[in-house]
Amino acid sequence: MRRVAIVGAGQSGLQLALGLLGAGYQVTVVSDRSAEEVAAGRVLSSQCMFDGALQTERATGLHFWSDACPPVEGISLAAANRSGGKAFQWAARLDAPAQSVDQRLKLPRWMSELERRDGGRLVTREADANDLEALAREHKIMVFEGIPSGPMDCWGDVRSTSPEAPGSWRHSCRGRRSAAGTSS
Ligand SMILES: Cc1cc2nc3c(=O)[nH]c(=O)nc-3n(C[C@H](O)[C@H](O)[C@H](O)COP(=O)(O)OP(=O)(O)OC[C@H]3O[C@@H](n4cnc5c(N)ncnc54)[C@H](O)[C@@H]3O)c2cc1C
């Protein structure tokens, strides 16, 4: 069975992970925050999911809040000018309703789904370059979802250890030896 490692347990990482599990892959997700930390943490964004994204959630069986969450039927945006008046304002109806589920509710539930479903594994730690190298050796495909590149300065090496990494990924960085071709 093909194994995929995903670093980052946000909206895209978890949705991809659960979709791949449904397609029969083994998936490891590395998250720098536990489900409890996400649930007790700050609001992450306005988290409005539009029709296309909602359809993907439904297709993946991840739409646990469809009935409970009210529809968002339109959007309006206003910005203030320096004197306290409105610089601009617009409002428009959406072609299809959106929904905004608090990600402090959604992501922990998806994390628990990941662990509950066959082949899913959640690792709670902030992945560093060494973790990525180990993951690349153990998994066929590595995916990075929403990870800032700054803290890990050797992704080029790490990506190149993945057996299915495209040739364009194979480059060394910052004086480190390129790991291209070291795994099979
Ligand atoms: C204020 C604001 C409002 C927004 N509103 C909307 C909206 O209404 N609708 C919409 O569609 N989009 C919105 N967005 C954009 C949306 O939030 C992003 O597009 C989306 O979160 C990207 O998802 P992601 O899973 O790729 O990344 P993220 O959600 O950023 O997830 C990445 C995860 O990886 C974790 N991580 C980072 N480094 C590591 C590491 N080294 N090891 C392990 N884990 C790590 C992070 O903690 C995070 O949990 C908004 C963004 C902001 C800032």
Q: What is the pLDDT of residues 48-68, one digit of tens each?
A: 999 999 999 999 899 999 999
Structural domain boundaries enclosing 14: 3-47+102-169
Give a yes or no: residue 179 inside a domain: no
Amino acid 173: pLDDT: 36
Across the range 161-171, mean pLDDT stands at 46
Which CATH number belongs to the domain containing residue 30 in this structure? 3.50.50.60
Predicted confidence (pLDDT) per residue in 17-52, tens digit:
999 999 999 999 999 999 999 999 999 888 999 999
The number of domains in the chain is 1
Give a yes or no: residue 86 inside a domain: no
Give a yes or no: residue 34 inside a domain: yes
- Does the Cβ of 145 fall within 6 Å of ligand 1? yes
Q: List alpha helices for the chain, DSSP H.
A: 11-22, 35-40, 51-59, 103-116, 129-138, 155-161
Nearest CA to ligand 1 atom 51: 45
- Does the Cβ of 96 fall within 6 Å of ligand 1? no
pTM of the model: 0.83
| Residue 24 CB-half CA count within 13 A | 2
Predicted confidence (pLDDT) per residue in 145-165, tens digit:
777 765 455 555 444 445 555
Give a yes or no: residue 131 inside a domain: yes
Nearest CA to ligand 1 atom 2: 45
